[in-house]
Copies of this chain bind each other. A is one copy, B any other.
Amino acid sequence: MINVGVVGYGYWGPNLARNFNTARLSRLAAVGDLNVQKLQLAKLAFPEIKTYSDMRELINDPAIDVIAISTPVSTHYPLALAALESGKHVWLEKPMCETSDQAKRLIDIAHGKNLVLHVDHTYVYGGAVRKIRDLVTDGTLGNILYYDSTRINLGLFQHDVNVIWDLAVHDFAILDFILNKHPVAISAHGVSHIPDSPENLANISMFYEAGMVAHINVNWLAPVKIRSVLLGGDKKMIVYDDLHPTEKIKIYDRGVTISDNPDYIHKMRIGYRIGDMSSPDIDTTEALYTETAHFLDCVQNGGGTMTPGEAGLRVVRWLEAATHSMKHQGMQVRLAS
């Protein structure tokens, strides 16, 4: 039985605690939080755990095998570093770190000590995104032409990160997972309409080889909540609406074809193909349930997780690049391959 300690029992920590406590391979052994009231809540829900106000003590508790970190991003690096140095496997909330240098260092240490370093890109483990990856990988969509995401709502404002780090991070994680290629450049524009607050609306463009482009529109000041992605291939196209209760993914047999027929519209040899739409049944298992089971299997059997430190590092690099571009009026930032 793998013993898990959860560090940080705020918004997301209770979900980690619940899943690790009910997983077949693990049990919740400890919870740490600086706030005593949070610890009391944890103790009420899981009477048999130990609770810690000093994170270092929890991390060094020899009865614990895995440290799951769900604290503000500014504390991710020191906590994960201590956990790895103490020989624990690490589960880390996203974004993984504040800088790519920190992320690289964590990866190096985990490799040196042969420990699992897992980044919690939760969306990637849900039925919808896994289905999309299957449709990309098996060629159903054809060549991917564009990804276009609208991820907007009213608040919740984060005090330590801008809207890109809070919302676009989901799209970065999804893109890293569904595509087998990475962007070569990023450009972003953003603005803050609240004094002394980080940017609360932004648009990010990511450029890939062969003209593929990803665009992400994030906004904390929108009157309605939207979680919508268009994924266009040259064979089929997807509309992914994460808020739809039952039809999250619609696959359209629709596209543009180039022809030699001289009668096509405007003499451009371009025709339109309109066919059926289908909406596959999606696995509705809680993403976090699937993810914890996968992670625990990697800890037990030594395999690599689907979202290792390297995936977390790529996402942090893109966040850095987007933020840098946004600070320089959308200047295109090239990414090393």
Contact = CB atoms under 8 A, between A and B. Distances in A.
Nearest to A258: B194
A169 interface: no
Place the interface of chain A in its size category: 35 or more
B154 A272 contact: yes
Interface in A204-258: 205, 211, 213, 215, 217, 219-225, 230, 232, 234, 237-239, 243, 245-247, 252-256, 258
Contact of A222 (B47, B187, B230): B230
Copies of this chain present in the complex amount to 4
A239 to B, nearest CB: 6
B203 A145 contact: no
A142 B293 CA distance: 40
A201 interface: yes
A188 to B, nearest CB: 10
Given A265-B157, A270-B194, A219 B258 contact: no
Interface of A: 47, 145-146, 148, 150, 152, 154-159, 187, 189, 191-195, 197, 201, 203, 205, 211, 213, 215, 217, 219-225, 230, 232, 234, 237-239, 243, 245-247, 252-256, 258, 265-268, 270, 272, 274-281, 329-330, 332
